Each structure stands twice: as structure tokens, then as C-alpha cells.
Structure 1
Amino acid sequence: MFSQSLPSNTRYTHWLFCLALGIAVSIAGELPSGGWLQIPLLSLLWWRLSLINTTHFLPHFAGGFLFGLAYFVVGLWWIFISLHDIGGMNAALSVAAVVLLSAYMALFFGLASALGKKLQHRHIFLSSAIMAAAWVLLEYLRGQLFTGFPWVGFAEAQVNGPFAAIAPLLGGLGSTFLVVWASMQLSAWRQSLVRTSIPIGLVLVLMLGLNQLRFTEAIGTPISVRLIQGNFEQSLKWNPNAITQQMRFYSDAIVEKAADLIVIPETAFPLIERDLPSDALPQLRAFSQATHSNILLGLIGIVPSPNGQLQYSNRALGLSPSNASPYYYDKFHLVPFGEFIPPGFQWFVNAFRIPMSDFARGNLMQPPFHIERIGEDSIGAAITICYEDIFGNELASRIRNSEAPVNLFVNITNLAWFGQSQAPSQQLRLSQMRSIETGLPSIRSTNTGITAVIGPDGRVLQALPQWTQASLSTSVQGFTGKTPFVVWGNWPILSLACFLLAFALLQRRRF
């Protein structure tokens, strides 16, 4: 089959080209103008795959798969740091884990590429839309199957690209659709420069218009915020002396200065709530009441499991000036292997040597944390822990179905697991995309960075340098309202994708 689709002397060059493009597109996504750069680079992939003179499934799947394999290995290499440097796993096994995860992710790229090629239309505009539809459908599945892992997709790079403006209407998948469509259009410029460039130009003009739309509006006056970045090494997380030092630092930093909202990172108090020093929470509660400060901190909670036994949870605990009972948010979307053990994989966790790696799952619908203010209505903050802010459809569902208004996001996370890698900047872009999708600002409090405040348009307003022990004092404006994406979720873009694929299938059968 391969010999019929490619000359034997160019076959290996072709596959190497796909691998090289995967590396280039992944690296481009990390650059300041990555959302623009990825489009012409992707067009080279479609051009290269067009040289395969067959519509057979396997060659196009292989090209997309090899592209995806290189793309994800480069984009996810930081997992090696958490497995080997922090977790103590054997180096060879750690490399194998990164490659296997990347290969699994690449399956979706390969399937999308093959499906789009199989259903291609003779008209370039429709053919581009069909490939984009296939890509959107497989990207959606990548974010759903086996708890989902929609990391380093094309959408988040669009916070620095031309197609972010579609996200409040169609979400990140809408941005992904336009990236694939535009790159496919661009790949066919030799056939007809006019037919390929004019549609792209019109869509770019449309994006300029959509940029002027606002679906949410400011509510009340800005709140004062303090975000505390401790910069504690992950390797010291389970050292008793280091735990004491870390908790003392955060406790002292909290009471150093009042603010409407004071936030410390995920598991900044790395103990079970009942094992905290007896005076830890009472002192913070007294400070909250005396200064009218709302405090949000990360620790380890305990919840009853279905079998009646107690189980750990990754928890955010909130203290409000007028409420004697603390607010609890228990993480809903758990990390496979790190926070829950898939059936049959206890051996993997044992090799990784993670303490407390089987957490209880909180409910998807948990109430927002109410940030109380003197003389004004409270501000509702939807809490996310760790990588929960990469699941845009879940966050839209939480806002849509919340009984209390949600006016901003607060994410607490600990990225010390991933060392000095691109993981923090990748998650920052994902948080930016969530703000664009929902029209709500985001606050990020992290252990080692990137601690930041993001506006409702996705722009980073303020940030602390990484790998520094510091505090960010600023003000944040709450917003109210719902974008079309919050109201409808992914249904419009998925319906469009399914319609295009069904149309392509009917056309193929007709001819």
C-alpha cells in the first residue's frame, strides 16, 4: 500500500518530514506569536499528506500519527520530570511513559487526519471544513475518553493568535476548527490563490468584529487580592521539618496584610485538615473576622467514601469573615495515577512512590466561594484545583447550572512537580482560554509560578516571576453574565462538525 502511495526513495523522507513538522508546530505554540505561526506550519503538513496518491486510511493515519507523536513528546516532556526527578521512577520507564502517553494522544491526530482525507471534497473550501470537522470531533474525544487530557491542543495557542475571538461563541474547539480550516486553505494556494486567500481574509475580518462583542459586564467595585507564591521544592513535600517551615511561611504571609481575598496554592498546607496544628485554622479565622479578609487555602481533606470508609480529597478551604463554618471545595477532575488509580495499575503507582495517590472525587456541581465585602454584594468565585481549568466544557456547565452567580475563577495549583519546563506557561494559556470562553477573569495562585491575574478577555494583567518567593497584591474586577459558549457548551461546534462529516459521507456515497 505504501509503495503505491509514495515513491520508495521518498517514503522515509516523508515520514521524517511529518515528525519534523510535529516538533516545529509544538515549539511554535510556545512562542509569543505561536497562534499565528502554527497555521502556516500546519499547512505544510496538509501539503505533504496531499502528496500521498491514495485515499487509503493507513498512509494518512500514519502521517498524522507521526506528526502527533513528535508534537506531544515535545509538548509533554515535562512529565518525565515529575516521574523521574520528583517521583523517583526509573529513567527508562519514565521515558517510556512519556512516549506511550504521546502515542495515545497522537492516535487522535492520526484518526482525524485519515478521516478528513477519506471524506475530502473536490472543492478546497469544503475539503478544509471537513478536515476541521474531523479534527474537532477527535479533539473532543481526546478531552473525554478515560477522563480526558485536552492539553497542548491548537486552541490555547490562539490566545496569541487570530482565532481566539470565536471562543466566547463556540469555545476552544471553535478556535481549533478555524486553525485547521485556515491551514488547509493555505496549503492549496498553488491551486488558486484567490479561492484560498479570500475566505481566510473574510474570516479574519469577522474575527476583528467578534473582538468587539462583550457578553459579560463588570459588577460592583474591584476586590483587593493577595496571591502568595511560596516557591517550595516538591522534593521536600513530605519532609516533616519542611512541612512545618512551609506552613509557618504561608500562615505568616496571610496575616501580614489584609485583603478582600487572600489565596495560597494547592496543598500549601500539605497535611490532612484534622492533623493541622490546633491553632492554625483558628488563628486564620480570627484574622479573617478582624480584618474582613476572605481566605482560600489548599490542604488535604477527608470525606466518607461509598463503602463508609474515610478517603482523602484534594481540597480548597475557604474562610469568610461572617461565616463560622469553613467553605469546602473538593477537586472533581482527578489526575490519573497521581490522584486516583485506574484498575490494574497499582504497580505503576508503587513504582512512582506517590504518597496518598488515591483521592476521593468531589461533585462537579459545587457552590462558588462567596467573597464577602463591606457594604457591597459578595462576589462568587468558581474554584478549580490543579489542571481542572483545562476542561472548558465542564467549567461552562458549572457556571450555567450554578444556583449562585459566578463572577470569576480562582485556580490553585502546584506546578513544582514539573520543574523548569514549559508546563506552567502551557497551563497559563489554558486559563487564558477559559477566561475568553466565559468572559470572566481568572486568578491563579501557584507554588512556583505562574501566579497571575487574567482579564475577561484572556489578557494577563499581572504576574509574578517564576521560582521566586513573593506575593502579588492587586485588584480584580468581578464580571457578570454568560457567553454563548457558557449557555450552549460544545453542542453548536459538535453539531456543525457532525453535519459536515455527514454531508461529506453522503457526497462520497453519491459519487
Structure 2
Amino acid sequence: MRQALIDWQLQKGGIYPKLLALFILGAILAAATELPFGGWIQVPLLSLIWWQLHKLNQQPLKNYFVAGMSFGFGYFVLGLWWIYISLHVIGGMHWMLSTAAVFLLAGGMALFFSLASLSMRFFKHSPISGLLLAANWVLIEWLRGWLFTGFPWMGLAESQVNGPFGAIAPYLGGLACTFLAVWSSWQLYTLRKNPKINGISLACTLLLMPALSLWHFTKPAGEPLSVELIQGNFAQSLIFNPEGISKQIQFYDQAMKSSHADLIISPETAFPWPETSLPAGLLDSLQAFSNQSQSALLFGVIGRHQNPSDNREFSNRAIGISPGVPVYRYDKSHLVPFGEFIPPGFHWFVKAFSVPLSDFSRGATDQSFFKIKRAEQDPIYAAITICYEDVFGSEIAARLRDSDNSANLMINITNLAWFGASQAPAQQLRLSQLRSLETGLPALRATNTGITAVLGPDGKVISRLPEFTQGTLQATVQAYSGKTPYVIWGNAPILSISCLLLLLSLIRQKQF
């Protein structure tokens, strides 16, 4: 009994330094994704994490599971700390409760990473253990993006817009980028064991990526379009008082009417007031300006209607005005839990902070595109997303695939003033870049505080405004037409490949 107690104490003493090392490595991995070549740095860092986890193969399964949690917890605490700003600084929630919310969310997300890494333990003797780890990771990441409305933020794929595997996105989507990042990091980790096979497979994969970039599935459509994106840089606190609301409405109204571009875009809730209660004549004057200047306008408001299905009155809405066509309205479909809708049983949580209008109605998933009419040319159709919606690549692909009209560009309007001077705007910019890669379409991002940017169909940033400045971004954008394989097939191919790999491996293990 005494010896057993000594062994247990030694075992516990040995696991804690490894948990700390994994936590630090997870935090470093999250920090590295913010660097210019973060996608390249990600691969060797993941290899170090597999090395640390491999040391725990002889530990009890629960210790191994906790080790995976430790790595994920470090990753998400550093990557998602900005939620504290929206809850405490903006929302007025007590700092202890705000901190607890960040830790709870990070712990929930770390659970997925821990489950994904368990395949290292279950398939440790398999000759294709790297492929199985990648397949399991893809399936768990897909689950993370779907369960409880999904939260795929800070996935491994987004940093691949600055990494080696972004070229696979138009073919198989962001999850395929994740697959290759995890697989290549395993190949690097086991390079000493199988130098020839691993070296050749890694080299061939890296050489294949530039070749994949040679194929283009979308092509230019019509003449380029002049655009102007307006960044008001209004503090979030201003929308909670009448004077601030009036000042913001006046600014965006005048800024849009001062432009001469073909397409003028203001950010999410540029008019932070219900549409039916906006100053008298505001929308009519914008329509008159559009007809006179032949400019199309897009801006955010608070929609107001009664949705019989959920009994909610307000929505997060974009209004589009184009000369000669009816007013366009798009209501945000994929809402942010707690920020835009309150899950059942959690109304007490929202009452703990003072953010109004936090229980929005959900827009339909099959809303039409914004039609931008042009003289003597075919109209341009823009797929609209509001803030958080461009996180969900499969949903955007489904909208592009199922719509009656083919989209020619994507527009995201957002307001990240909720998150202050954090890395949240840069994270969402990378997600938008990934969406352009997946769809082969240019994208326009109009934001309140940044990052306002124009993206090419290859996901590259063409131009951008500095954060936390008031100004306009003027650019010329070429519309595109066509569909990438990812838009046509969605996640079905990469999910099928991953499931097939795991199924065949399970069958093989049972046979032996």
C-alpha cells in the first residue's frame, strides 16, 4: 500500500509540469497565428504538442484527456480573451463573472481539441496514425462548428491563408486546410523515425499546393465597380444614449451622400435604431440620392418586425438601396449566442450586464442576394453577411450553391467595437480571407472600428484602412462569376474521406 501511494505521488508530480508545458505551447500556438507567416509556424508548433502528448501514452486515459484539455485551454484563453472586453468593459458585467465566462468558453472549446487528440492514443500503433489524427481532428472541428449553433472561431484553418495549405480551400474548404496542417505536423514529428517516407510525402504535398493555385474556377464578370467603404470609428458606448445615436446616424447619412462611388457601404448597425423609428424622411432621402447618383447603398440598421415563429420583435438587418429596384432587406440568420439571442434558460445571464437588444429574431437561410443595378450592364449580385456569419464557410457555400442567382462578390458588414483593441478584428479578417479562397469571389468588409478591407478572389488583402480611425476606403473591385468545387460540394468530400479513414482503421484493428 505504501509503495502504491509513493507511485501515485510520483505519477502526479510528473504530470503537472507536462500540463503546464502543454498549456504554454497552446498559448504560443494561438499567438503564432497572429504573425505574418502564422500558418507555417503552426506546423512545427503542433509537432511539439504531439511530442508532449506522446510522452503521456503510458499515463491513464483520464490524464491523457486532461493533457489535451490543457493544450486547448491555453490556446483558447489567449485566442478568445477579448470576450472579456465585450462583457465587462462594454456590457458592464462584474469582472469576476466576465473572467469566468472567458474561462468557461475556453474550457468548452478545449474539450473539442482534447477529443480530437485522443486518436493519438487509440491509433498509436497504426501505420497511418498521422492520417487518422487529421481525420479525427476534421470531424471534431466540424462538430464544433455545428453543435449548439456552432462556434468554429480560432480553428486551425484560418491561419492557413498565411500558410502552406490555403490552396486546397477552393477544392475542399477550410476543413481540408485543417487536415493537411495536422497531418503535416505529424509527419514532421515522426520524421526521425521515417525520414525517407515522411520527407518525400511532405515535399510532394508542399509542391502540389502551388500547382493547385494554377486552376481558377471563377472569372471576371463585367466592368470593375468603384466602391467606398465607410468606417465611422464610433465607441460602442455611444449607441446606448440618444445623443450618440443621433451623431452616428448623421455621420453615416452625410458620408454616404458625399460619395460618388458605384457602391457605398456602411457597417453593421450604422444606424443603431429600429428601422421604423429612424428620423423622418431618412430612408426616402437615401433612395432619392441613389436614384440621382446611380449609386447603390448598403448599411446596417435594427430591423423591426413580428416573427410569428419566435415572438421576437427586432432583427440585425442590412438595407440595400439600388436605383430602379425595390429596397433590399437582409436579416442576419446565424446569430451569436448571448450576444444576439438568449438560449433557453439563460435569461439570468443577460440580465447580469446592460446590453440592450440582445434577443434578435433569426432571418431565413434562403434570403436573396443584393442586386446592384448598373447602366447598360448586367446587374451584380452580392452575398451579404453580417459580422459573425462569415465564420461559417459551409453555410455561405450552401447559400451560393442554392440561390437562384449567381453571386459575383461577397459583402460583410460588422461592428467589432465590442472587442476593443484586441486581435478579434484580425481574426475575423483571416476568416473572411478564407471565405474568399473557398468561393473564388472578392469580398468587401465595411466595419465600424476595423478592419475595413477589400479582398481579392484569392483571399489577398488588396487595400485596408487602419483600425480605430474615421475615414473611407475607396477602391475598384472586379466582380467574378462561377463556382468553386467547394461551393458545389461543400464539406461532403473531406468529411467522407475522414470518416472512411477512421472506419477502415477501426475495422483493421478489430481484425487483429
Q: TM-score, normalised by structure 2?
A: 0.97
1:91 equivalent in structure 2: 95
In the TM superposition, residue 57 of structure 1 has moved relative to its aligned partner by 3.5
Q: Deviations over 1:308-354 (max 9, x none)?
A: 9561000000111102x310000000010111110110011001222
- Map Cα deviations across residues 148-177 of structure 1 (whole Å, 9 max, x no partner): 010011100000000001111110000000
1:114-133 aligned within 5 A = 114-123=118-127, 126-133=128-135
Which segments of structure 1 move beyond 4 Å, counting only runs of 4 or more?
1-9, 307-310
Determine the C-alpha separation between the residues in 1 that align with 2:437 and 2:8: 46
Residue matched to 1:32: 36
Q: 1:21 aligns with which of 20, 25, 33?
A: 25
Instruction: State the identity %.
Output: 54
Q: How large is the RMSD of aligned CA atoms in angstroms? A: 1.7
The answer to whether the 8 A contact 1:6-1:53 is kept is no
Alignment of 1:7-406 (within 5 A): 9-54=13-58, 57-123=61-127, 126-306=128-308, 311-323=313-325, 325-406=326-407
Residue equivalent to 1:475? 476
Say which SS state the counterpart of residue 382 (structure 1) adopts.
Answer: strand
Closer, same or farther: CA 319–246 of 1 in aligned 2, 3 Å: same
Aligned mates of 2:197, 2:47 — CA distance in 1: 16
Uncovered stretches (5+) of structure 2, i.e. residues with no partner = none
The amino acid that maps onto 2:183 is W
Alpha-carbon distance in 1 for matches of 2:11, 2:315: 57
| 133-142 vs 46-55, greater mean Cα deviation | 46-55
CA distance in 2, matches of 1:58, 1:501: 22
Q: Aligned to 2:367, what secondary structure does the other structure show?
A: coil
Q: Tell me if the contact between 2:312 and 2:361 (Cα under 8 Å) persists in the aligned partners.
A: no
User: 5+ unaligned residues in a row in structure 1: which ranges?
Assistant: none
Give the whole-Å Cα distance in 2 for the aligned partners of 1:13 and 1:184: 23
For residues 9 and 33 of structure 2, the distance between their equivalents in structure 1, rounded to whole angstroms, comes to 31
| Partner Cα distance (1:375, 1:53) in 2 | 68
Distance 1:442 1:4, change over 3 A: farther
Q: Report the residue type matching 1:180 in the other structure.
A: V
Aligned residues: 508
**Distance between the aligned counterparts of 1:233 and 1:319, measured in 2?**
26
Structure 1 residue 82, shift from structure 2 partner? 0.3
Per the TM alignment, residue 200 of structure 1 is displaced from its structure 2 partner at its CA by 0.7
Measured in 2, the distance between the counterparts of 1:336 and 1:430 equals 19
Q: Report the CA distance between 1:117 and its aligned residue.
A: 2.5
In 2: Cα distance, 1:245 partner to 1:481 partner? 42
The two structures have a TM-score, normalised by structure 1, of: 0.97
Moved more, 78-87 or 192-201: 192-201
Q: Give 3-state SS (helix, strand or coil) of 2:228's partner.
A: strand
2:223 maps to amino acid: T
Correspondence 1:432-451 to 2 at 5 A: 432-451=433-452
Q: CA deviation at 1:248?
A: 0.7
**Match for residue 499 of structure 1?**
500
Cα 1:10–1:57 shift into 2, 3 Å = closer
CA-CA distance at 1:55 after TM superposition: 8.0
Cα 1:145–1:309 shift into 2, 3 Å: closer
* In structure 2, C-alpha distance between the alignment counterparts of 1:395 and 1:4, rounded to whole Å: 51
Change (3 A) 1:189 1:321: same
SS in 2 for 1:237: helix
Query: Quick one: distance in 2 between partners of 1:429 and 1:92?
Result: 31
Structure 2: distance between partners of 1:248 and 1:189: 61
